[in-house]
Structure 1
Amino acid sequence: MSAGVTPLDVGKRIKAKVARPAPEPGDAAWQIEPQAGRLDLEKLYAARLQAVRARPYLATALFALHLVESWQVPTMAVDRYWRCYASPLFVERTPVEDLASVWVHEVSHLLRDHHGRSDRLARDLGMTGRDDRLRMNIAADCEINDDAFGEGLVTPVGALTPERLHLPEGQLMEDYLRGFVFDPRKPGLAWLDCGSGADGVDRPWELGPEGAAGLTPQERDAVRFRVAEGIRARPGDAPAGWRRWAEEAFHPPQPWRQLLGAALRSAVSGPGSGGDYSYGRPARRSTGLPGVVLPSLRRRPPRVSVVIDTSGSVSDDELGSALLEVAAIGRAVGGRHDQVTVLSCDAAAQTVQPICRAAGISLIGGGGTDLRTGFAAALRTRPQPDVVVVLTDGQTPWPAVAPSCRTVVGLFRRPVRYNEGNPDYRPDAPPTWARVVTIG
């Protein structure tokens, strides 16, 4: 710290997330000399070792961080290149137990890609102001701190938790961002700064992409994979938030609405879909056959039959989602709702309904499930559909023979499928002749 820095400057640089409350005049904290010793690496390494003992599945990530001494950073912070900046003053006045919690907190920002997610939010929502980025930092802290401490890690004084901000626990940064209204006058928040690793905005005191000891994108991905692998190997040792993160690291969530829409568009545009011969416009080949009129193949809006599983195993939320998909299907065929029919099916097929709007569709059912009757009823409609779309949880028998038209299956996600009377029960997977998209 340069000469001429006042105690007031020092107080402003203490981050409320983990630091003690700002000292009062006369407090011993004011007696720290601006030219205090350099960064206490031994203390920081001891704190990191304690963090590894408390959270062994984070060991790879904690040891991948490169320490950088900085008098400009308020406490400790990370950049997107996996450098950890530490203030010598903060390290000197903070107990080892608290520093261990800070290590875990900062590396969590990087593992959970808060910088990348913040950049996407800023792009999608137009959140470009400094207050917006601070809100993202606060929301990211809430995602981490709701289950980061305890079990060997102390809760630092002033740590931002969902409870402190009157928000529910167990949510993601994006959810907290919508629920939290930032008040720049609120004490203890305006000086929060976890670095670009938390909100995606480069700081003047960071070394940047050309600086030394940063990790390449491939190395960052390798660290995340190793940590996720460790969590999945011993899932009982990790909080729910980390288990969810590890599962998504191995199986990233797919944009299922786009996938379902793409599958439908592919089906309705395939050969034979929406095509029929018509004498309304004779074929050009008729000119070569005097006295003979040949029909021409004309395109028409494809006919789509939607079979919705209304058995008792499908929730009301899933049925509501199915109605939204029906409306999207109507738009996918050019707004020709007369070309789309909806069929409710549990153990038996119900009435076939043409759609005018999704809100007017009545879904009937609530019993067992046998979608074979739904397929049969859909194929009996006249004129026959070009595409059959089935929205189901998959706990059903399937037709033994592929229908005469293309089939798209929207499968409601089920973490575990079981039968209480038969512990070895496994439901039949959707048939190979259907295009399957997992919903949710």
Structure 2
Amino acid sequence: MSPSAPGQPALDRDKLFSARLHAARVRPYLATALFALHPVESRRVPTMAVDRHWRCYVSPAFVDRTPVEELAGVWVHEVSHLLRDHHGRGDRVARERGLTGPGERLRMNIAADCEINDDAFGDGLIRPEGAVMPGSLGLPEGELMEDYLRRFSLGPSTQDLVWLDCGSGADGLEREWDLGADGAHGLSPQERDAVRFRVAQGITGRPGSASKGWQRWAEEVFHPPQPWRELLGAAVRSATSGSGAGQDYSYGRPSRRSAGLPGIVLPSLRRRPPRVSVVIDTSASVSDAELGSALLEVAAISRAVGGRRDLVSVVPCDAAARIAYPLCRGEGIPLLGGGGTDLRTGFAKALRSGPRPDVIVVLTDGQTAWPDTRPPCRTVVGLFPRQTAGAWDEDDPDYVPDTPPEWARVVTIG
């Protein structure tokens, strides 16, 4: 706690804590997070700011001039940055898009504020003076920080926001006032995760009391989105580089062991480019959008095996397998189908097509029978998700498909 300078007010902790109590009363599902924040008095922050270790830095002058009801809104705003991992997301965005410098971090802070503020206030919580709203920047509501970052740049519409600084907890860039990882009263990573989980439990337990933004956040806490394109690409690359994939003997370069056997030339074991056969489910239960996504994934698969489109073939299949098309004709591959589903015929067609593939990639909704025995090559399944058993559209309404076999590497798409 900083000592009070002459002529400057001391931090009114009673007022600050009354505001936090009011925030917890009107947003009870955030109470665990609000009381997990440790306040730190600081005259270097403009208003209130947080760091990634769940400390809340507070300006005494700001507390002194701000009504309790507005301070409650600031409490909710600051803890929202931490719950939504804006510091971690800000770091990732900065690396991916090459965003450096204080101007870009200010844009991140503004974008994060827009994500929070579009549905944070009302229902007993007063919007603090100067709170950034998407509409004031000509932006739509309901988007995420990453989306807002693409939609605006610093200029006349943001010139009044240069004072804005919610701290490193909002954009990931450490401030001069931060106490750091070794400072007092910070939460460990495990404690932060526990707080997020408790808040998510409170929201899902009483979903009617939380905004749609918070409900979406809570759902992602329990079911975090997976980077499925990266996972699918990694699965294909792993399968094509595995033991026994793409290996053959060749006399093009004699084996080094030939030196020990005069007059005898031994072939060397050479790795040839792997061949991939992609079986695409074209049954009626797969939507046009999913088929379009499947074709995009076929192109990505060709990149995963070194860009050799001539080594990738495509087998459209519903209840019967069609022709195995080479990917060099990728733009004109007809995805015919629309009937029932039996991808076992697709496996058989892929394995009969010469030369035999090293890897079979299946893109399907999973509503199919699977081969009884493991194919003589590696298998990767890209699975279009289905939310409930009622989404399975078969003649039998009680039908629930088998899960992909254990010998397949499964990646959920979307």
Q: CA deviation at 1:139?
A: 0.6
Q: In the alignment, which of 31, 39, 57 is matched to residue 11 of structure 2? A: 39
1:377 and 2:353 are equivalent in the alignment:
no
Q: CA deviation at 1:207?
A: 3.6
Q: TM-score, normalised by structure 2?
A: 0.87
Q: TM-score, normalised by structure 1?
A: 0.82
1:363 and 2:335 are equivalent in the alignment:
yes
Which amino acid in the other structure matches residue 42 of structure 1?
D
- Change in Cα spacing, 1:280 to 1:242, as seen in structure 2 (3 Å) is same
Question: Aligned residue for 2:40?
Answer: 68
Q: CA deviation at 1:387?
A: 1.3
1:427 and 2:401 are equivalent in the alignment:
yes
Which amino acid in the other structure matches residue 247 of structure 2?
G
SS of structure 2 residue aligned to 1:343? strand
Which amino acid in the other structure matches residue 432 of structure 1?
E
Q: In the alignment, which of 321, 324, 331 is matched to residue 293 of structure 2? A: 321
Q: CA deviation at 1:354?
A: 0.4
Q: Which moved more, 1:96-105 or 1:256-265?
A: 256-265
Q: In the alignment, which of 362, 367, 373 is matched to residue 390 of structure 1? A: 362
Which amino acid in the other structure matches residue 228 of structure 1?
A
Q: CA deviation at 1:423?
A: 6.6
Number of residues of Structure 1 aligned to a counterpart in Structure 2: 409
1:87 and 2:65 are equivalent in the alignment:
no
- Change in Cα spacing, 1:192 to 1:338, as seen in structure 2 (3 Å) is same
Q: CA deviation at 1:293?
A: 9.3
1:437 and 2:411 are equivalent in the alignment:
yes
1:327–1:357 Cα contact (<8 Å) kept: no
SS of structure 1 residue aligned to 2:195? helix
Question: Aligned residue for 2:116?
Answer: 144
1:307 and 2:297 are equivalent in the alignment:
no
Written as runs of structure 1 = structure 2, the 5 A alignment for 1:175-324 is: 175-183=147-155, 186-276=158-248, 298-324=270-296
Q: CA deviation at 1:431?
A: 1.2
Render the CA deviation track for 1:405-439: whole Å, top value 9, x for unaligned.
Answer: 22110112333342478775433211111111112
Render the CA deviation track for 1:265-300: whole Å, top value 9, x for unaligned.
Answer: 222233332234567788899999999998775532
Q: CA deviation at 1:198?
A: 0.8
1:334 and 2:302 are equivalent in the alignment:
no
- Change in Cα spacing, 1:130 to 1:272, as seen in structure 2 (3 Å) is closer
Q: CA deviation at 1:184?
A: 5.5
2:137–2:157 Cα contact (<8 Å) kept: no
Distance of 1:75 and 1:285 partners within structure 2? 75
Distance of 1:53 and 1:437 partners within structure 2? 42
Distance of 1:79 and 1:298 partners within structure 2? 54
1:324–1:358 Cα contact (<8 Å) kept: no
Distance of 2:267 and 2:38 partners within structure 1? 74
Question: Aligned residue for 1:401?
Answer: 373
1:65–1:82 Cα contact (<8 Å) kept: yes
Q: CA deviation at 1:108?
A: 0.7
Q: CA deviation at 1:246?
A: 2.8
1:349–1:374 Cα contact (<8 Å) kept: yes
Distance of 1:76 and 1:279 partners within structure 2? 72
2:137–2:158 Cα contact (<8 Å) kept: no
1:129 and 2:104 are equivalent in the alignment:
no
